[in-house]
Amino acid sequence: MRSEMESIIYNKIEIVRGDITKLNVDAIVNAANTSLLGGGGVDGAIHRAAGHELLDYCRKLNGCRTGESKITPGYKLPANFVIHTVGPVWRGGAQNEPMLLQSCYKTSLTLAVENKIKTIAFPAISTGIYSYPVYDAAKIAVRTTLDFLQNNSSIEKVIFVCFDERTFHVYKEVIEEL
Ligand code: ADP
């Protein structure tokens, strides 16, 4: 018989390669910066796809602290909501980066539950411009999510969206190693 953990991995977690802005899910997560006013990488792509109304809404939010998350509508995106979370900048690993990254996943998933979101997609937070090592970040992403799903059954699907082939393989490896 499969353990509960294996069942969650099998039924509720998906790793896909692609562009998060195209996904038809209840919410996509944005790897934002503390200003919440847009930036490069996935943040820029999400703002471009959602349209200017997203920026207008974000202007009223007074930014967001590292490790925390805020929710907005998705506007022109296929997703109904965007959960903006601010990952840590990698500064060598001794500046609380793992705890802050873990907090991004926890606070995003908590907001998802509070907003009755059933399907949610995450990019590989902090692993682009913020330089977090991909393997370490993927381990935190998968383990924190698994832990959360073991205690909250309302979320039906969590998709980890990998923009490049290497990130995709790293996530696969992390899942296999669990
Ligand atoms: P951060 O500043 O948190 O490092 P980035 O946006 O620079 O955020 O990168 C986070 C991850 O998102 C990287 O793996 C990057 O390749 C990926 N990414 C960039 N654009 C997209 C997109 N449209 N969909 C999904 N992932 C994306």
Tell me the whole-structure pTM to 2 decimals.
0.98
b (16+ CB within 10 A) / e for 6-44: eebbeebbebeeeebbebebbbbbbbbbeebebbebbbe
More confident residue, 2 or 101: 101
- Interval 115-130: pLDDT, tens: 999 999 999 999 999 9
CA of 3 to the centre of ligand 1 (A): 33
Question: pLDDT value at position 62?
Answer: 98
Residue 134 CA to its chain's centroid (Å): 14
Q: What's the whole-number mean pLDDT along residues 107-114?
A: 98
Query: Do 32 and 64 meet the contact criterion of CB atoms below 8 Å apart?
Result: yes
Tell me which of 97, 100, 163 to substitute to probe ligand 1's pocket, judged by most ligand atoms within 8 Å of the beta carbon.
163
Residues tagged active-site:
43
Q: How far is the CA of 164 from the centre of ligand 1 (A)?
A: 9
Angle at which helices 134-151 and 165-176 pack, to 10 degrees? 50
74 Cβ inside 6 Å of ligand 1:
no
- At 2 the pLDDT is 66
The pLDDT, as a whole number, for residue 88 is 98
- Note whether 174 and 135 are within 8 A (CB): yes
> Is residue 41 in contact with ligand 1, taking CB distance under 6 Å?
yes
At 38-78, the pLDDT tens digits run 999 999 999 999 999 999 999 999 999 999 999 999 999 99
